[in-house]
Copies of this chain bind each other. A is one copy, B any other.
Amino acid sequence: MARIRLNRSARSTSDRVAEENRRTFRRHGVFVINMIGSPGCGKTAILQRTAQHFGGRLAVIVGDIKTTLDADRIAQGGIAAVPIETGGSCHLAPSMVRDALAGLDLAALDLLVIENVGNLVCPAAVDLGEDIKVGVLSVPEGDEKVRKYPALFLRTAAVLVNKVDLLPYCEFDVRRVREDCLKVNPDAEVFEVSATTGKGFEAWLEFLRRARR
């Protein structure tokens, strides 16, 4: 634990493996998302609902410090889900993703989502070989997260504001989040969703279909 900077050689090894992953994904025509958000923001629930619309063409790699609970939840829905237990590391590394690919038939996939370790900080700076990063935040976390964690949100192609079903019970200004996103990263698309009720998923799914092309 420290003010973390990979030294140049470790960084270049990491980036090299990320590039290898990227070439592998391209070869198989799979579009890959690196999904990043706080613990408990609803990444797994979002993936469960998203997967319903892609049938067997979507698979998930799920990173957790400890336990395979999230991968198990996803697999129960009949979706291919490969767990990675990082054993203490606060983010996924590209080599962990490379090793997890052995458990997947990439040729059968349109979309692969890598659910990163629940953490708004450390995963943001690490390229896994993905096409895009997607940031997830949730209504009960409060509406100042984009300001407080800009390093993530300036890299995301899309931001999911999850748990909008809890808006009546929380102080949360969606407009403020949209304005903050616009300042940090004008290209990011913002989607208000509820993985519990399904609200807002049409627009998110449409984004995924567009992004793939």
> Hey, which bits of chain A sit against chain B, CB under 8 A?
1-4, 6, 10, 14, 38-41, 64-67, 69, 86, 88-91, 93, 117-123, 125-126, 137-142, 144-145, 147-151, 163, 165-166, 169-170
The residue of chain B having its C-beta at the shortest distance from the C-beta of A170 within the complex is B166
Most buried by B among A1, A139, A144, A166: A1
Residues in chain B near residue A120, CB distance under 8 A: 39, 118-119
A141 is contacted by which of B40, B64, B137 (Cβ under 8 Å)? B40
* Alpha-carbon gap, A150 to B39, bound state (A): 13
Given A117-B121, A166-B169, A169-B169, the answer on whether A148 and B65 have CB atoms closer than 8 Å is: yes
How distant is A144 from chain B, measured CB to nearest CB, in Å? 5
| Count of identical protomers in the assembly | 2
Whether A40 lies near B142 (C-beta < 8 A) is yes
Whether A140 lies near B89 (C-beta < 8 A) is no
Given A40-B142, A138-B40, A140-B138, the answer on whether A148 and B67 have CB atoms closer than 8 Å is: yes
Residues in chain B near residue A65, CB distance under 8 A: 121, 148-149, 151
The residue of chain B having its C-beta at the shortest distance from the C-beta of A123 within the complex is B1
Whether A140 lies near B38 (C-beta < 8 A) is no
Given A6-B1, A119-B119, A148-B118, the answer on whether A140 and B66 have CB atoms closer than 8 Å is: no
Residues in chain B near residue A69, CB distance under 8 A: 144, 147-148
* Alpha-carbon gap, A119 to B120, bound state (A): 7
The residue of chain B having its C-beta at the shortest distance from the C-beta of A89 within the complex is B3
How distant is A77 from chain B, measured CB to nearest CB, in Å? 16
The residue of chain B having its C-beta at the shortest distance from the C-beta of A166 within the complex is B169
The residue of chain B having its C-beta at the shortest distance from the C-beta of A7 within the complex is B2
* Alpha-carbon gap, A147 to B85, bound state (A): 12
